[in-house]
Structure 1
Amino acid sequence: MRKKRGYSRETPTALVRDYKLFAIACEGGKREPAYFRAFQFMSNRIAVDLIEEIVSDEEALAINPNKSAPKWVLERAIRYIEKEGLNDEDDLWFILDVDRWEYSQLKEIADFCEQNANWNIVLSNPCFEVWLYFHKRKNIKDSESKTCGDFKYEISKFEKGGYHPLKWIPDLLIAIENSKVTDINKDYFFPEINTTKLFQLGEAIIEVVGKKGFEKYCENIIPKLLQEEIDRTKRKKKK
């Protein structure tokens, strides 16, 4: 069981938690949440919260009835912080796709992050699948994909059985290396076409977990998670 999330000076030492929290706001469909959800099993040195799973649509609508972007994302994150709390060591990450937003909207969130310690925005241009591409391929210039739909189709052909996050995550270090090389302006929040800033989140996680801890996760935990999934599928078919 993880230790108490928030603490004050009066909190007994035994209750002060010993892990770093990564709170993630991702506006994708099923693919992004499934990918980041798997990170929570990586190490007891980190915890991963998907904000969308903790602050419901109903709660977010109560804050912002018009569902106007980017206030929808920002206020949902603020509501999460009010409910869950963040320590000074914790990180909040906005994982967004360029194709879903206007530049001015993304710039507003980026400016907001600049004003808040440990708030981060990492974008993929045009979409999250660019980040996934770098897990399996080094040179994205070899790709003929132009749209997000193209990238989704191309990625589905990289592994037998199609895309599965647990089969991609073992290549996280490769993805960090491949995508970081293509980022020609690392000090600017907005990525060039067919590049991604998601390596920043990958590096932040590896910094806490450690490369050896990550290797143990890939060798010992991921096979068990895959087997559990296979067993669940078999049980469902028997019903």
Structure 2
Amino acid sequence: MISGNRLFQKVRPDRDAKIFYIFCEGSCRENEYFNYFTEISSKIKLEIIPPNEHQTSPDKLYQAAYLLLIETEDNSDPKYELTLSDEVWFVIDTDEWKDKIGSLLKKCQKHSKWVVAQSNPCFEVWLYYHLHQKKPSFKNMNISKEWKTFVNNSIAGGFDSRKHPIHIESAINNAKCNYSDIGGEPDIACTEVFKLAERFYPFINSIVKEKIDQLRTALHRHNYNYYVLNAPVISDKEFDDRMRELQELEQATADEFCSFNVPEAALRGLAKRGSSRASLSSFNFSNTSHGINISPRISKRCG
């Protein structure tokens, strides 16, 4: 399940900020995903516009965008004032609207910077690439329902908008690397959402990377404080095994913060056999660019 959380300091967009109008076919996941990036930079504004129950088809989404953005004789005061620098994006799944997307593409060609980003079969393909480098392989990959189940099973706890969207740069690279199309339509397990992300990410990349560094440092401090100061008295072999497991865990979480909430639970499991504290002399410590690196000293018995 996706739920929101304010990880970044809220920043109001400048008056001349570039605006991305994002019209989503889905009313839940897409909306909450893109909301993660709203108001974290003064340089851009993401205006996410979910459909109502009667606007889910590509044609209806286009009609909604036209009404909200384009001034006409019958619509002299649209809700939004579209400028030359602004971009309009339609985030569409191919599963249900495959035969209707062509019409939307033709209509968008009449406007400057109106773009369609398709996912085959659904938006969960984009979510998947935040945490995985390679295209998956499972039964019924052309069915959206199967993708929703697969993504939830392949990510511990399911995709969570409180932390996973921070991997947007990885998602761009992974989705782009695995992208292929057939007649202009994304192949199965491919998505064009990376094209949208490529457009707005440069405005926020320094902010996102700074937050990643902060989280990575906090993670290493957590592992040091919890494991070293509360480690049980164990044998040399078990000590070495547990330290290897800890190092693997640290490496995994350093690479992917999606597991930021995992270390505490894992470390509790490592330490639950005993309550005595390990001597700090049993460990080697070294400073790294991401925090403190912990490793056991060779032939040093803990306890």
TM superposition score category, shorter chain reference: 0.7 to 0.9
Give the secondary-structure state (helix, strand or coil) at the position aligned to 2:130.
helix
| TM-score, L = length of structure 2 | 0.58
Q: Distance in 2 between matches of 1:220 and 1:49?
A: 28
Q: Distance in 2 between matches of 1:80 and 1:215?
A: 34
* Aligned with 1:155 (options 151, 158, 162): 151
For residue 219 of structure 1, report the CA deviation from its aligned partner.
5.6
Q: From the CA coordinates, give the structure whose radius of gyration is larger.
A: 2
Give the secondary-structure state (helix, strand or coil) at the position aligned to 2:60.
helix
Match of 2:271 in 1: none
For residue 157 of structure 1, report the CA deviation from its aligned partner.
2.6
Match of 2:111 in 1: 116
Match of 1:76 in 2: 64
Match of 1:191 in 2: 186
Overall identity of the aligned pairs, in %: 27
Number of residue-to-residue matches in the alignment: 196
For residue 78 of structure 1, report the CA deviation from its aligned partner.
1.2
| TM-score, L = length of structure 1 | 0.73
Match of 2:89 in 1: 93
For residue 207 of structure 1, report the CA deviation from its aligned partner.
2.6
Q: Distance in 1 between matches of 2:27 and 2:152?
A: 16
Q: Is the 8 A contact 1:156 1:162 kept in 2?
A: yes
Match of 2:27 in 1: 29
Match of 1:20 in 2: 18
What are the Cα deviations for residues 38-89 of structure 1, in whole angstroms up to 9, with x where unaligned? 1103312111112237xx66xxx7xxxxx69443111101122121111111
Specify every segment of 5 or more residues in structure 1 that has no aligned partner in the other structure, as ranges: 4-16, 62-66, 224-239
What are the Cα deviations for residues 127-167 of structure 1, in whole angstroms up to 9, with x where unaligned? 00111111111112344452212211121134433221232
Q: Is the 8 A contact 1:125 1:196 kept in 2?
A: yes
- Aligned CA distance change for structure 1 residues 45 and 189 (closer, same or farther; 3 Å): farther
Specify every segment of 5 or more residues in structure 2 that has no aligned partner in the other structure, as ranges: 1-11, 70-77, 219-303
For residue 220 of structure 1, report the CA deviation from its aligned partner.
6.7
Q: Distance in 1 between matches of 2:17 and 2:211?
A: 16
Q: Give the alignment of 1:192-231 within 5 angstroms.
A: 192-209=187-204, 211-218=205-212
Match of 2:264 in 1: none
Give the partner amino acid of 1:199.
Answer: F
What are the Cα deviations for residues 186-207 of structure 1, in whole angstroms up to 9, with x where unaligned? 9x64211110011101100113
For residue 212 of structure 1, report the CA deviation from its aligned partner.
1.6
Match of 2:133 in 1: 138
Q: Is the 8 A contact 2:23 2:48 kept in 1?
A: yes
Q: Which has the higher contact order (CA 8 A, sep 6+)?
A: 1
